[in-house]
Structure 1
Amino acid sequence: MDKTQTSGDEDLFLGYSSVHKKRSEPEPSHVSMKSDASMIQPIKLNSGDTQPGLSSVQQKRSDPESNCLSMKRHVTVGQSGETRPDLSQVLNTFRPNLMKKFECLYEGTVMQGNPTLLKEIYTELYITESENGEISNEHEVRQIETQSRGAATEDTVIKCNDIFRPLPGQDKPIRTVLTKGVAGIGKTVSMQKFILDWAEGKENQDVQLIFPLPLRELNLMKDKTLSLSDLLNFFFPEIKELEISVEKYKVLFIFDGLDECRLSLDFKRKVKLCKISKSASVDVLLTNLIVGNLLPSALIWITSRPAAADLIPSECVHRVTEVRGFNDPQKEEYFRKRISDQSVSNRIISHLKSSRSLFNMCHIPVFCWISAAVLEKMLSQAESGEIPRTLTQMYTHFLILQTNIKHQKDYEKKVTDEDMILKLGKLAFQQLVKGNLIFYEEDLRECGIDVKEASVYSGLCTQIFREELGLYQGKVFCFIHLSLQEHLAALYAHLSFTINNINVFDQTKQSLLSKIFKQKKYNSLSELNQRVVDEALQSKNGHLDLFLRFLLGLSLESNQTLLRKLLTRTGSCSYKKEETVQYIKQKIRENCCPEKSINLFHCLNELGDDSLMLEIQHYLKSGEIKETKLSSSQWSALVYVLLTSEQKMDVFDLKQFIGAQHTADKVLQNLLPVVKESRSVQLCGCNLTAQSCESLSSAIQSSNSVLRELDLSNNDLKDSGVKLLSDGLKSPNCQLEILRLSGCMVTEKGCRYVSSALSSNPSHLRELDLSYNYPGDSGVKLRIQLEDPNCSLDKLNVDHGGEYRVTAGLQKWACFLTLDPNTTNTQLILSEENRKVTCVREDQSYPDHPDRFDAHQVLCSESVCGCCYWEIEWSGDYGVHVSVSYKSIRRKGWGDECVFGRNDQSWSLFCSADRYSFIHSDIETCLPVKPISSSRIGVYVDHSAGTLSFYSVSDTTSLIHTVQTTFTQLLYPGFGFNIGSSVKLLMNQNRL
């Protein structure tokens, strides 16, 4: 056996024991790796050593064995004695060829139309380092909506030319980079910019040769057997005469479009290939290149949509990056570069910002191009009509715009726009339910599309549907973006029903809907739409979500009017919009999962119904949301309103939504989608239990979560809750940077769970607060872990620990206080070892002291820092002031600068039998909470967090008011009185 091959029991590479996660998901994933029966067969290769009949890697070769990249003929010197060209001579041809191929950006077209120079319009994309974790089961549009809320995170941005350069603090070399991103987000353009800058001599000049090999073109060589040398000679004939040693030259392979790959990338295969002179199938060549058996020093760059990213084992990837498209400033930059008339570009930007759903979609560069094409024309004087505000309207306008582009007048007499739209719609629908984004000639022929005619047809084909003649010269077809395919598929389904009363799902055996729709007769469009709603809800990967939105939007009369500009026949059938609206609201009420509810609200938006959203917006604006008992549909509406708000919710504070009508655990569960899409989540002191930790665990390990800071302090989570939370911390998807668990009743056992999680995923968490717990020896171990250079943790707090901290509720923060005689007003009497004070009419004979108040007030001797809690019991007909103050407050006089709450030095809660009010900086706010029979008040201060909370205490503890501010000095508890009132400090020193 050849030494370059492994025996039958040897793995392809060491340490890898299983292929990528097997998908049990039977539904379409929109990753085009399914059917290749329609793929045309490539022409035979006549290059060098390739033999058409070769079927195994054991082919005998006469080339000397060497571990080098050797691209050469069998002679070293030509007949006339000339020598082989060196690298610089080859590059004189190679670089210009790449420049010619990549210097232009064809927005929407390839091979046709007017190209734009890439450097003139290129806008830097938002690229960050990522993780290759679990696959998201959401539609890519929902992923975009999530990313749009995460753009404000502090992730390190990587420029495309720096894709192989380690970040500061990273010292390991990067060989293989996997760049993922949703369809149309800019992965290919980033690759194109990298190659162009290299070819022009601007960037990455340490790389001698770049070989871009799109996987959609390698698909066409699926059944061929050849060597890596032959493969490169065929794609890049200008290097045939060149011999390159990997020890001498640095080479980069770029494999664009892993999601379009129809090769069998089996990383468990026992075939190990080390010599580039040995022949094998193309998939074997690729897997050995990626693993590093072939050309181990070569750089590898792979791009993929998220659903296919796990095809490459994590052991083979040294860096995972994610293209997030345009952030908000980059969106505006694109339109200002794309449209020369700045007044028009400003109007376009303003209009898109007014519709959150449209502005979110602008993270996708292709959608920016679509919007620019439509809105530039509509906002000019030459065009009038309603400006698109929904996705259906935008895409329908775009379809009309492109059909009006006339290039081939003679051909248009033979094939009408209407015929071509229906044929393309049929293709779009059939391939959508199969999960294919790229198609071949046979797929077109099945839908009645003549390939030659399609390639010369007017705007419709060249701008929406494109043909690519790759390096291999094989024809590959695709829509320029998945969303355009979904829109055409929905249009085809709609027209098939309204014109011919045909349900297209019945005709598609592969369709997931066929079981339900088979032999089903529909009396109205509403009934058909309702069935598609059901099926979209049952889809686990959300692949029908956008299709459904388009289908419902096309049912509206306003969009029917638009279609009449495009089609001579749009059909007619019974349709009552309100039936569909009510059906969708019923599904929302049935409490389907939050992610599905969000898409249903998008559907209502397409149908022009915003009644639920307006109701919730009223509750939010009036402040009634905390005290209103919400139905399941109202909770879903609240999620939708928060996620589509004009204002980004970088910080989510659960206290804004907790009231007497809802427990904190229930509120958190209902608002979990908002938690996932917030950068900072504040849950401090919300009375959460371990029950919520399971939900939070799923949130922090969600592949789309932008959550970076989580504050769970002052919740009785206990070790059981921390264990659930630690399960999420272990996930490679978890990118949490700050975690606060102060005062959560965590013992040594719980700290071990956290320590284990940090060992499993040490690369993100920077700050961990476990203060006011009982960490025991585990706290010491965590401090040791802090010194590990592989651990990103740089701030750990285990202070103020002790067994007494494992106490339920606020009592864990108990502090011992006494009243300061030197501050006591002369009409106040101290008793019970300076733990009680009573206000009387008679002056007491206290010695003069500069700290003594002229007002009826007293401060405590002890300052409060960190987290502290104390309780008092008050009495008196005229109420008391329960306060905290800086020591610097003025003592002499009765002016506002001396009275608790009437200045910026103090904060005060006024308590009486019939009301509570809060006073600070001479602003008094009457509080909606009504006093109960109990006269006990609890006060909680978290000095560093700037939190001050007041509670009514009886058998239970109820929040009266919370203040979030910044404390600049130490705080001292204080009290203000009216004649006859008293205050007693209740905390017992024995508790400490």
Structure 2
Amino acid sequence: PTAAAETPQAAELFVSCSVCVLTEIIRRSSEDMKSRLRQSHVFEGVAKPGESAPLTQIYTELYITEGGASEVNQEHEIRHMETMSRRSAAPEITIKCEDIFKIFKPHPHSPEPIRAVLMKGVAGVGKTVLTQKLSLDWAEGHALQDLQLLFPFTFRELNVLRDTQFSLVGLLHHFFSPSKHLCSFQHFQVLFIFDGLDECRPPLDFSRTQDLTDPTESASVHVLLVNLIRGRLLPSARLWITTRPAAANQIPVEFVSMVTEVRGFTDPQKEEYFRKKFRDQAAAIISHIKSIRSLYIMSHIPIFCWILSTVLQTPLYQTEESALPRTLTQMYVHFLVVQAKVQNIKYHQRSGEDLHWTEKTKKIVWSLGKLAFEQLQKGNLIFYECDLSECGLDPAEASVYSGVFTQVFKEVPGLYQDKVYCFIHLSVQEFLAALHVHQTFFSSGENLLEPLHSESPEPEAAFYCSAVDQALQNPNGHLDLFLRFLLGLSLPTNQRLLQGLLTNTEKKQNKETVKYIKQKLNVEGLSAERKLNLLHCLNEMNDLSLVKMMQWYMREGLLSDRNMSPAEWSTLSFLLLSSDSDLEEFDLCKYQASERSLMTLFLLSLIGCGLSPHSCGPLASVLSSSSLTHLDLSHNDLQDAGVKLLCSGLKKFPLCLLSLSLCGLSPRSCGSLASVLSSSSLTHLDLSHNDLQDSGVELLCSGLKSAPCRLESLRLSGCLVSQRGGAALASALSSAPSHLRELDLSYNHPGPSAESWSLVHGWSLSWFWSLVRGWSLSWSWSMFGLCLGPGLWSMAGLDSCEFSLDPNTAHRHLLLSEDDRTVTRVRKEQEYPDHEDRFTKWEQVLSCTGLRGRCYWEVQWTGEVSIAVSYRGIRRKGKGEECGFGNNDQSWSLVIYNDQYSVNHKHIWTKLTQAGKVVAVFLDSEAGVLSFYEVGSDGKLFQLYTFNTTFTEPLFPGFGLLSYGSSVSLVKTHSRNKVV
């Protein structure tokens, strides 16, 4: 009995001791890992001996966003860099650096904790620095202290072991000696960081890789990685994977809990970087970069900030402002010269003013250029010793090359015998590749861009034109930046900077090349992206003729009267995208546009541009390779066929906001739209005023239920949604995690299910029950046409807005009828008494009553008139233009002049279509909507224009009469037949 009593106690003591020992082992392993990470340093560009810098000393905050899909992005990253500088049209979820680990905690919209996070970002944007910074934060106790172990890997290191067999436990022991005391990681809180998925060789293959669940079983590193990401190995572990956009699709979407994107520096963060790195020179550096828009845009990438500062920090005290680099080619030429000067000073004890192109330096540059070009053709950014040997670089002296041009070419340190090499950034590789192709042609006559490398001499202009052709034939733009550099090197000013390195070619063949590029800009079928790059090429060649001409057209207000060529449309797009103003919307209605012209534009409002279903095919092809974030196609007769074509492109690009209001859609469109919701980054969708009905809403709900759906705002105003559709929406939004924050079901009857759901969730939705309860809506839409059943007219009170004109405001050359509902401009001055409200110089009149809420009225007109609404405070006295309707911020007007409609607000005019004889006005002051319609003979309303703004006061209808004999009459709306 005594022994029996002692046995459980002994067992308990044994377990207790074991737990204590295990806890101590974990604690020591964790502390050892943290101690190792605390020794980390980070280097800008490449580490230079004796110049390591603590990470916390130079780190600058980056702009990080949540969201985005993990689909492939095949475009050249230079396009991504340029378009990222434009602010997104839709709100974005931003993440601060110190909060990034919090994303691994349970998400408020997901019942499961986030396991795997994929972080995208272009080369040089700061992904690696982020992983180092956050590893250090964990080691210093500043972040994610519920983690017991953190294992940071790079795919470059793992590539070296691609043919070696390891168990997961063995791999961790091999890389991280502090973990050797642990033989299992199943029950620990562990985070794996895998940096640089795009550098994984060969790429991960999830379709044919065997399953593996035992962390002690040996397999290839490739198999271990795939099963870690799948969740077969250590399912409790958390993963953070970084990648460039082109490799994001290697991991199937079902294995990614969240996608984030590093955008680089915001404008204030750029300035913080320069002020941190330089003190006295910071203001001058910032001023110079701001003066050159293209450089300032690209400086949101940290590596560009570093290159810019490397070039600019010394010359600012030695060089005139006009000689500082003003194009990308000039910047990279200066960058190479700086490295050569550093080499002279460091290795040959020469002055930085001495000749810097020694024979050895030239040999290194040409060998690196050959390596850059040959590997660029193969699509390789990482090289091995065999690649160096093929280009005449001795692998045994590789450290010398990376030491001489430490900020151009670098040897990547590793734990193993195999060494890896790369250029400091893809743009540096492309610059050296262009330098190699340029020098080869002018020294030997060989054109490396020709398929057979023909050595027969050809004219210089033919050489550059063949380069243009080669770049245009690449659909993904992978030679775009290379072409900019190559054409930039044709400038004598750039060649003089490289005197002693380049063969002198100052024969000035630029005119023929410029002419050839302008011809290409007028070629039909060439994508918008390629045309924009050709304009960048002209900029590199210092030819600004197209840009200056377009600026003159814009300044003189001549664009709306001009049928522009494709080259001019491309130039307009180039100017809009490189503008330093925060352009939120480009309205095509202000230009003489055609369906073809939309192929060259990016920030689009295509409201009422007469687009048909046929337009959607070319539009979809543009969208599939563009960076649009805001697209408004409202009031176009796209129909179901057009939307189906459009959706094929929507799945492939990062659109945030899409408006398809009044586009003639039926329930059949909703299947295509639902597939977009479940496979895109769309956050705002407006489908108002389409005949979607309940069956269409039910199809949309299948997309709303999908996990990848990111929709935050859905507008279904006037879509014939009844109780069945309302119940479907309530069910979809209640049964699945949802990001939806705004739902507009005005002018519908969604029923009690939707109302109850909104109350439970504390929403303030626009149901407008007073308008729709108990009525059967009968809305039918055609292109710009709206036929309203009599029931809805009486429900909305649209025929109850009765008012008369105020004689005390009428100009003395205006004659009012006895009922004050008709006004005519006459030559004889009327004997009205003096009144402070009277217009004295402008032939205008206001109504007696100010309007609020929803109001509708119609007017019949003759001659030349303006139909307006105005605040009471509009000026009445004086000849100044500010007294006229639409010429100020107090009024909004539709003007009929020479039988053509125009709208005017704040003296900003927009030309519309030819004019009819009856105009309708709809005002919803609470929603901030003012719409003008033309009323057809059959009672249909054709929308002319809608102002969207915030109204702060009651609005008074008003009329201006612009010529003698002109008149305006208020029409009794109930006398008009509007039966469907």
Band of TM-score, shorter chain: 0.7 to 0.9
Relative distance call for 1:353 and 1:573 in structure 2 (3 A) is closer
Deviations 1:202-253 (A, max 9, x none): 2222212222221111111121122222222222233323345432x22222
1:368, distance to aligned residue in structure 2 (A): 0.7
Residue 250 of structure 1 is matched in structure 2 by 189
Deviates more, 1:718-727 or 1:751-760: 718-727
1:263, distance to aligned residue in structure 2 (A): 3.8
| 1:939 equivalent among 905, 921, 942 | 921
1:351, distance to aligned residue in structure 2 (A): 1.7
1:582, distance to aligned residue in structure 2 (A): 1.4
Residue 198 of structure 1 is matched in structure 2 by 138
CA contact (8 A) 2:824 2:966 kept: yes
| 1:366 equivalent among 303, 311, 319 | 303
| 1:144 equivalent among 81, 86, 101 | 81
* Structure 2 residue 251 is the aligned partner of structure 1 residue 312: yes
Equivalent-residue separation in structure 2 for 1:980 and 1:470 (angstroms): 85
1:309, distance to aligned residue in structure 2 (A): 1.4
Equivalent-residue separation in structure 1 for 2:881 and 2:904 (angstroms): 12
Residue 9 of structure 2 is matched in structure 1 by none
1:766, distance to aligned residue in structure 2 (A): 2.0
Residue 388 of structure 1 is matched in structure 2 by 325
Equivalent-residue separation in structure 2 for 1:724 and 1:360 (angstroms): 39
User: How do 1:125-164 and structure 2 match up within 5 A?
Assistant: 125-150=62-87, 154-164=91-101
Relative distance call for 1:596 and 1:172 in structure 2 (3 A) is same
Residue 571 of structure 2 is matched in structure 1 by 637
Residue 538 of structure 2 is matched in structure 1 by 604
CA contact (8 A) 1:356 1:646 kept: yes
| 1:985 equivalent among 957, 971, 974 | 971
CA contact (8 A) 1:526 1:575 kept: no
User: How do 1:582-593 and structure 2 match up within 5 A?
Assistant: 582-591=515-524, 592-593=526-527
Residue 529 of structure 1 is matched in structure 2 by 464
Equivalent-residue separation in structure 2 for 1:965 and 1:310 (angstroms): 41
Equivalent-residue separation in structure 2 for 1:336 and 1:108 (angstroms): 18
Relative distance call for 1:170 and 1:130 in structure 2 (3 A) is same
Equivalent-residue separation in structure 1 for 2:368 and 2:873 (angstroms): 77
Residue 486 of structure 2 is matched in structure 1 by 551
SS at match of 1:212: strand
Deviations 1:289-319 (A, max 9, x none): 2212222212222111111111112222222
CA contact (8 A) 1:828 1:839 kept: no
Tell me the TM-score normalized by structure 1: 0.78
1:137, distance to aligned residue in structure 2 (A): 2.5
Residue 28 of structure 2 is matched in structure 1 by 89
Residue 951 of structure 2 is matched in structure 1 by 967
CA contact (8 A) 1:423 1:449 kept: yes
Relative distance call for 1:446 and 1:881 in structure 2 (3 A) is closer
Deviates more, 1:905-914 or 1:795-804: 905-914
How many corresponding residue pairs?
875
Residue 367 of structure 2 is matched in structure 1 by 423
1:283, distance to aligned residue in structure 2 (A): 1.1
Equivalent-residue separation in structure 2 for 1:309 and 1:415 (angstroms): 43
CA contact (8 A) 1:941 1:947 kept: yes
Relative distance call for 1:99 and 1:646 in structure 2 (3 A) is same
SS at match of 1:340: coil
Tell me the TM-score normalized by structure 2: 0.79
* Structure 2 residue 729 is the aligned partner of structure 1 residue 782: yes
Equivalent-residue separation in structure 2 for 1:607 and 1:913 (angstroms): 46
Task: Please tell me the residue identity of whatever aligns with 2:686.
Answer: R
Relative distance call for 1:990 and 1:381 in structure 2 (3 A) is same
SS at match of 1:559: helix
* Structure 2 residue 429 is the aligned partner of structure 1 residue 498: no
Higher relative contact order (CA 8 A, sep 6+): 1
Deviates more, 1:909-918 or 1:440-449: 909-918
CA contact (8 A) 2:712 2:741 kept: yes
1:965, distance to aligned residue in structure 2 (A): 4.0
SS at match of 1:718: coil
Relative distance call for 1:985 and 1:389 in structure 2 (3 A) is same
Relative distance call for 1:912 and 1:473 in structure 2 (3 A) is closer
* Structure 2 residue 601 is the aligned partner of structure 1 residue 671: yes
Task: Please tell me the residue identity of whatever aligns with 1:550.
Answer: F
User: How do 1:401-800 and structure 2 match up within 5 A?
Assistant: 401-406=338-343, 407-409=346-348, 416-457=360-401, 460-472=404-416, 474-505=418-449, 514=451, 517-519=452-454, 521-564=456-499, 567=501, 569-572=502-505, 576-591=509-524, 592-657=526-591, 661-663=592-594, 665-672=595-602, 680-682=630-632, 684-685=634-635, 693=643, 697=647, 700-703=650-653, 705=654, 707-713=655-661, 715-719=662-666, 722-723=669-670, 726=673, 729-730=676-677, 732-736=679-683, 738-744=684-690, 746-748=692-694, 750-760=696-706, 763-776=709-722, 777-778=724-725, 780-800=727-747
Deviates more, 1:429-438 or 1:751-760: 751-760
1:596, distance to aligned residue in structure 2 (A): 1.1
Equivalent-residue separation in structure 2 for 1:332 and 1:810 (angstroms): 52
User: How do 1:177-188 and structure 2 match up within 5 A?
Assistant: 177-188=117-128
Relative distance call for 1:821 and 1:356 in structure 2 (3 A) is closer
1:421, distance to aligned residue in structure 2 (A): 0.1
| 2:102 equivalent among 145, 165, 179 | 165
1:764, distance to aligned residue in structure 2 (A): 2.1
SS at match of 2:326: coil
Relative distance call for 1:919 and 1:205 in structure 2 (3 A) is closer
Residue 236 of structure 2 is matched in structure 1 by 297
Equivalent-residue separation in structure 2 for 1:306 and 1:919 (angstroms): 44
| 2:173 equivalent among 225, 233, 236 | 233
1:735, distance to aligned residue in structure 2 (A): 2.8
Deviations 1:641-698 (A, max 9, x none): 11111113233434333xxx335x5554442465765655555557777787568646
CA contact (8 A) 1:133 1:733 kept: no
Residue 39 of structure 1 is matched in structure 2 by none
Equivalent-residue separation in structure 1 for 2:182 and 2:506 (angstroms): 68
Deviates more, 1:262-271 or 1:677-686: 677-686
Relative distance call for 1:810 and 1:571 in structure 2 (3 A) is same
Equivalent-residue separation in structure 1 for 2:334 and 2:283 (angstroms): 20
Equivalent-residue separation in structure 1 for 2:224 and 2:92 (angstroms): 35
Relative distance call for 1:396 and 1:782 in structure 2 (3 A) is same
Equivalent-residue separation in structure 2 for 1:428 and 1:415 (angstroms): 20
Equivalent-residue separation in structure 1 for 2:882 and 2:541 (angstroms): 58
CA contact (8 A) 2:822 2:967 kept: no
Deviates more, 1:305-314 or 1:929-938: 929-938
CA contact (8 A) 2:691 2:779 kept: no
Percent same amino acid at aligned positions? 43
Task: Please tell me the residue identity of whatever aligns with 2:559.
Answer: I
What CA RMSD, in Å, does the superposition of the two structures yield over aligned residues?
4.4
SS at match of 2:332: helix
1:913, distance to aligned residue in structure 2 (A): 7.2
CA contact (8 A) 2:402 2:410 kept: no
SS at match of 1:86: helix
Equivalent-residue separation in structure 1 for 2:818 and 2:142 (angstroms): 80
CA contact (8 A) 1:817 1:835 kept: no
1:325, distance to aligned residue in structure 2 (A): 1.2
Residue 211 of structure 2 is matched in structure 1 by 272
Residue 754 of structure 2 is matched in structure 1 by none
- Give ranges in structure 1 of 5+ residues lacking alignment: 1-75, 506-512, 845-850
User: How do 1:38-117 and structure 2 match up within 5 A?
Assistant: 86-100=25-39, 102=40, 104-110=41-47, 112=49, 114-117=51-54
CA contact (8 A) 2:585 2:603 kept: no
CA contact (8 A) 2:637 2:783 kept: no
